Amino acid sequence: MKAAVLGSPVSHSLSPVLHRAAYDALDLTHTYEAIEVPKAGLIDFVNGLDANWLGLSLTMPLKEVAFELLPACDELAIKTGAINTLVFSDVLRGYNTDVLGIVDAVREAGHETIATATIFGSGASARSALVALRELGANEVSVVARNEIDIVRMAELGTQLNLDVKSHALGETTWMESDLVINTTPAGVLDEIAQQVFRPQGLLLDVVYDPWPTQLAACWSVTGGQILSGLSMLLHQAGHQVNLMTGEVAPLGQMRDALNSELLARGLSTI
């Protein structure tokens, strides 16, 4: 059986490393590739697949357009408006494993529950972070972002989740006092803001992992804060994908070992 990660760009994706390691550990003969597919090409690509396909991982910019394909998707995909996993079964089903990836990564870092949080950004990853925070028990979330339409969408999602979500300018928040800060913005966006970090109280999850550490993560760590790479989220969300596609419990230890070996080969920090 075949599986793949689709996106644009996708050539440097670490998903093949994770999924192939899982298949090897589970003694499965499935294949997993990285395939360049632009937003406009997703529907034709999926409709052209045969019965030999197990499932697909989706990265940007495909997480929202995938809804046009699906007769069925899970509750987390509906809430976040983002699909990162397609599974071929009786019907094509869509899932969001990013939410559980965040939850698992934060808990693995020693934080079972979260009360207050700050999210930088307001796109698909930020919506996944917001739902994850609800799963972690948060009751108050500040959102720091610029896109007014996306900010409104985050606030509406917060209402659905019974979660107090407020949008703030950076200077109006006490973000360094939050139990958890999640950065979902692209690499470099928060480099200048990073210079303001001083004795943060909580955990920082930066979804950017190349380069690592980011400027924000470096400043957070050097002034005494705990940091968590987006690679931990990537590992755990891939584990959930493996389970959905194969029905097997993901061998996270072997997946982590393979990921770290690849990171060292690329000159990146391990997790």
DSSP H helices, the chain, are: 15-25, 42-47, 75-80, 98-108, 124-135, 148-160, 191-194, 215-222, 230-246, 252-265
Residue 74 Cα distances to 13, 83, 125, 139, angstroms: 24, 9, 17, 24
Size of the chain in residues? 271
pTM: 0.95
**Per-residue burial over 51-74, b = 16 or more CB atoms within 10 Å of its CB, e = otherwise:** eebbbbbbbbebbbbbeebeeebb
Where in the chain are the domains?
A: 2-97+238-265, 100-231
Residue numbers annotated as active site: 63
Quote the pLDDT of residue 5. 98
Rg of the chain over all Cα atoms, to the nearest angstrom: 18
Decide whether 2-97+238-265 matches 100-231 in CATH topology. yes
Topology, domain 100-231: Rossmann fold (3.40.50)
pLDDT for the residue numbered 119: 97
Estimate the share of the chain in helix, then strand, then coil, as percent rounded to the nearest 5: 45, 20, 35
Peptide bond into 61 cis (omega under 30): yes
Q: Give CA–CA dist 184/188, Å, rounded.
A: 11
| Tens-digit pLDDT string for the chain (271 aa) | 999 999 999 999 999 999 999 999 999 999 999 999 999 999 999 999 999 999 999 999 999 999 999 888 999 999 999 999 999 988 899 999 999 999 999 999 999 999 999 999 999 999 999 999 999 999 999 999 988 999 999 999 999 999 999 998 877 778 999 999 999 999 899 999 999 999 999 999 999 888 888 999 999 999 999 999 999 999 999 999 999 999 999 999 999 999 999 999 988 889 8
Pick the CATH number of 2-97+238-265 from 3.10.180.10, 3.40.50.10860, 3.40.50.1000, 3.40.47.10: 3.40.50.10860
Helix (H) or strand (E) holding 58: strand 53-58
Paired tokens of 13 = 């994706």
DSSP symbol at 22: H
Compute the distance between CA of residue 219 and CA of residue 35 in angstroms, rounded to an integer.
36
Q: What is the distance between the alpha carbons of residues 232 and 256, in angstroms, rounded to a whole number? A: 9
Element holding 166 (H helix, E strand): strand 164-167
